[in-house]
Amino acid sequence: MAYSPLQQVRYGYQPKLPGVLREDIRKMTPMKGAATESASDHSEIRERFPHTYGMPMVRFEQGENPDVPEKRNIGVVLSGGQAPGGHNVIAGLYDALASANPESKLYGFIGGPSGILKDDCRELTGAVIDEYRNTGGFDIIGSGRTKLESESDFAQCAKVCNARSICALVIIGGDDSNTNAAMLAEYFVRNKSGIQVIGVPKTIDGDLKNEHIEASFGFDTATKTYAELIGNIQRDANSSRKYWHFIKLMGRSASHICLECALLTRPTMALISEEVEAKKQTLGDIVSQITDCVVSRGRQGMHFGIVLVPEGLIEFIPEMKTLISRLNDLLAQDGGEISGIEDPLQRCTKVATLLPKASGSLFSTLPQEIQMQLLLDRDPHGNVQVSRIETEKLLIQMVADRLRHLRQEGIYTGPFSSQHHFFGYEGRCAFPSNFDADYCYSLGYTAFLLIASGLTGYISSVTGLSKPADKWNAGGVPITMMMNMEKRHGSQKSVIRKALVELDGKPFGVFAASRDAWASGNEFLYPGAIQYFGPPEVCDQPSVTLTLEQES
Ligand code: FBP
């Protein structure tokens, strides 16, 4: 196997643990707080989780824990989209397990949750783990988006775990995967299976967070990677002074990634989906806003700029949201009337006639490529695959059309040359930043301690993240504590509440207070590449979002 110089050196990086986890692993004891309640809808959530509702929060402190050295087999699975640091969660889990008892075994299920159902797994020995320490990607065992949600799935998980004497499963995933982890934990307790379930908060999107889970892992590295690229493009734009760059940034729903990148780079404009929804903006309003900026900068001789576009934008524009929901209904009921039409143009024309009037007219005004993208297959959760909808190109086309009209009317005659980009996959498997390397290793280590303390239905939690790692705390949060009831695909479901950008929060406040100056001038910041070695103020800084959120 060939290794890059960075990979070789990164193997030797020893992730930093919270101070409390640095002593003998047998001397960490769970301190339990008071009984907890769900985020809201207490009685409904309690009814659905009668065995695991109300458990206390847990924090590890120095003390005796005689159960730690027990020999155990643990299973681990990666679920959903890749996020930098997944390998370190597994390394932290393995190191804790092996230091507690070298005869214990760790099994990694292959290709996501379906690996459990198919009993497809590999033993993760020290030699295997050493090949993946501090590297990006999920390739150690792969990932997948299969959902574990039915009683028969849960029964199959129990069967597979029992056959391998697996006493606990660690599920590394986003809000949906952790919701399902809570359901699995409840099933195992109800059926006295004796198998524990611990979740780990993963997603570059940054939307699995709350008072007790301060960040999902991967967000830090992904945003720093995108910010480096945005900064490079800004410098190019500021040098050639001839292009408007429209950059779509990943993040299925919430705009945390876009906001963090804006705070790191100070672009000309950044759209925040949550604000668009709150202000009930139409697609036309957004296009006017961008066009106004192009015109005003153009009048000062600046025919260039950077516009950051969140991936989820399209679903937050109220009229588009309605259109997408109508399309979902139409496609779900389609018995071949639409899918049977081979010619894309005819298919789109047919769809426009089947939609209610307002949605049909809006659909007809969209460029045909976008119409076709809106008709693409839904993901396993029934969602439009927003990463495949080229919103950045749609906005460019609509702004260009608007400028053409202004030119015809003699109102504005300046040039408008554009470039489009989509940054998503570029950041999901980057070498984890020191922050993510340390955070993930600590999350994995803590997941083992939760198991060794006999707990189930908890998510691993490491807090105090804006401080240096030795000051971090480690513990667990009952997953039911993060739940509420939401309507999903027509019925009420108990789910982990997704964290959207808070418009009254500090990160958005700082952005909103600065954006006019960024739009009219060129205050670009150039963050450069992630640094893995060097002074802590360059190498170990958490995200701006996290820092602002924790500032008193
Ligand atoms: P998770 O929520 O599973 O972490 O995935 C998030 C994400 O990276 C989104 O930002 C993006 O829309 C989606 O995955 C892309 O999915 P895919 O990898 O299936 O193209």
**pLDDT, tens digit (0-9, with 9 covering 90-100), for 80-122:** 999 999 999 999 999 999 999 999 999 999 999 999 999 999 9
The whole-number pLDDT of residue 384 equals 79
Contacts of 223 (CB under 8 A, 6+ apart): 204, 206, 257, 260, 261, 264, 427, 543
Q: In angstroms, rounded to a whole number, what is the distance separating the alpha carbons of residues 316 and 486?
A: 17
Atom 7 of ligand 1, nearest CA residue: 81
Is 205 annotated in the active site?
yes
Assign residue 382 a region (left: φ > 0; alpha: ψ between -120 and 50; beta: otherwise): left
Q: Please give the number of the atom of ligand 1 that sits closest to the Cα of 385.
A: 12
**Residue 324, CB-side half-sphere exposure with 13 Å CA sphere:** 23
* Per-residue pLDDT at 381 exceeds 70: no
Q: In angstroms, rounded to a whole number, what is the distance separating the alpha carbons of residues 113 and 354?
A: 38
Residue carrying structure tokens 């990634």: 257
DSSP 467-532: S-GGG-EEEEEEGGGGEEEEEETTEEEEEEPP-PPPTTSHHHHHHHHHHHHHHHS-------S--S
Calculate the alpha carbon distances from 316 to 100, 273, 452, 523 in Å.
48, 6, 43, 28
Of 317-331, 382-396, 521-535, where does the model show the most confidence? 521-535
Name 493's bridge partners: 486
Q: In angstroms, rounded to a whole number, what is the distance separating the alpha carbons of residues 341 and 326?
A: 19
> Which two structure tokens, joined as six digits, stand for 479?
């997953």
81 CA → ligand 1 middle, Å = 5
Q: What is the pLDDT of residues 443-457, one digit of tens each?
A: 999 999 999 999 999
Out of 175, 176, 205, 540, pick the active-site residue.
205
Which residue type is seen at 268? T
The whole-number pLDDT of residue 434 equals 98
Atom 14 of ligand 1, nearest CA residue: 81
* Per-residue pLDDT at 10 exceeds 80: yes
Q: Report the pLDDT averaged over residues 146-170.
A: 96
Which residue type is seen at 330? L
pLDDT band at 388 (very low <50, low <70, confident <90, very high): confident
- Residue 52 near residue 186 (C-beta atoms within 8 A): yes
Q: Please give the number of the atom of ligand 1 that sits closest to the Cα of 379.
A: 19
Contacts of 427 (CB under 8 A, 6+ apart): 84, 204, 221, 222, 223, 225, 226, 250
Q: Report the pLDDT averaged over residues 255-271.
A: 98
The whole-number pLDDT of residue 379 equals 73
Question: Mean pLDDT over all residues of the chain?
Answer: 95
Q: Which residue has the higher pLDDT, 334 or 259?
A: 259
Q: Please give the number of the atom of ligand 1 that sits closest to the Cα of 252.
A: 12
Q: Report the pLDDT averaged over residues 532-540.
A: 95
pLDDT band at 339 (very low <50, low <70, confident <90, very high): confident
* Per-residue pLDDT at 490 exceeds 70: no
> Which two structure tokens, joined as six digits, stand for 228?
């480096």
Q: In angstroms, rounded to a whole number, what is the distance separating the alpha carbons of residues 248 and 161?
A: 42
Residue 52: inside a domain, yes or no? yes
Atom 8 of ligand 1, nearest CA residue: 81
Q: Please give the number of the atom of ligand 1 that sits closest to the Cα of 83.
A: 4
Q: Report the pLDDT averaged over residues 336-355.
A: 89
Which residue type is seen at 545? T
Calculate the alpha carbon distances from 371 to 234, 356, 358, 361, 483 in Å.
31, 16, 15, 12, 35
388 CA → ligand 1 middle, Å = 11
Ligand 1, CB within 6 Å, residue ranges: 80-81, 83, 174, 203-205, 250-252, 311, 386-387, 428
> Which two structure tokens, joined as six digits, stand for 71?
């020999």
The whole-number pLDDT of residue 98 equals 97
Atom 5 of ligand 1, nearest CA residue: 81
Q: In angstroms, rounded to a whole number, what is the distance separating the alpha carbons of residues 482 and 496?
A: 5
The whole-number pLDDT of residue 380 equals 67
What CATH number is given to the structural domain containing 169? 3.40.50.450
Q: What is the pLDDT of residues 176-215, one digit of tens each?
A: 999 999 999 999 999 999 999 999 999 999 999 998 899 9
Q: What is the pLDDT of residues 214-230, one digit of tens each?
A: 999 999 999 999 999 99
* Per-residue pLDDT at 488 exceeds 80: no
**Residue 223, CB-side half-sphere exposure with 13 Å CA sphere:** 32
pTM for the full predicted model: 0.95
Q: In angstroms, rounded to a whole number, what is the distance separating the alpha carbons of residues 97 and 482?
A: 27
Atom 1 of ligand 1, nearest CA residue: 81
Residue 295: inside a domain, yes or no? no
Three-state DSSP at 74 gives strand
Q: In angstroms, rounded to a whole number, what is the distance separating the alpha carbons of residues 301 and 52?
A: 63
DSSP 151-199: HHHHHHHHHHHHHTT--EEEEEE-HHHHHHHHHHHHHHHHTT---EEEE
* Per-residue pLDDT at 516 exceeds 70: yes
Q: What is the pLDDT of residues 284-299, one digit of tens each?
A: 999 999 999 999 999 9
- Domain count across the chain: 1
- Residue 229 near residue 248 (C-beta atoms within 8 A): no
List the domain range (segments joined by +) for residue 170: 25-218+433-496
Residue 104: inside a domain, yes or no? yes
Q: In testing the pocket of ligand 1, which one of 205, 216, 388 has its CB within 8 Å of the most ligand atoms? A: 205
338 CA → ligand 1 middle, Å = 27
The DSSP 8-state label assigned to residue 56 in this structure reads: P
Residue 405: inside a domain, yes or no? no
143 CA → ligand 1 middle, Å = 11
Residue 398: inside a domain, yes or no? no
The whole-number pLDDT of residue 360 equals 93
535 CA → ligand 1 middle, Å = 33
Which residue type is seen at 390? E
Q: In angstroms, rounded to a whole number, what is the distance separating the alpha carbons of residues 370 and 373?
A: 5
> Which two structure tokens, joined as six digits, stand for 108?
């990694």
Q: What is the pLDDT of residues 116-133, one digit of tens each?
A: 999 999 999 999 999 999
406 CA → ligand 1 middle, Å = 39
Residue 283: inside a domain, yes or no? no
* Percentage above 90 pLDDT, the chain: 88
Residue 447: inside a domain, yes or no? yes
111 CA → ligand 1 middle, Å = 15
The DSSP 8-state label assigned to residue 60 in this structure reads: E
> Which two structure tokens, joined as six digits, stand for 65?
């824990």
The whole-number pLDDT of residue 58 equals 97
Atom 4 of ligand 1, nearest CA residue: 203
Residue 67: inside a domain, yes or no? yes
Q: Please give the number of the atom of ligand 1 that sits closest to the Cα of 312.
A: 12
Taking alpha carbons only, the member of 305, 324, 304 closest to residue 314 is: 324
Q: What is the pLDDT of residues 403-427, one digit of tens each?
A: 999 999 999 999 999 999 999 999 9
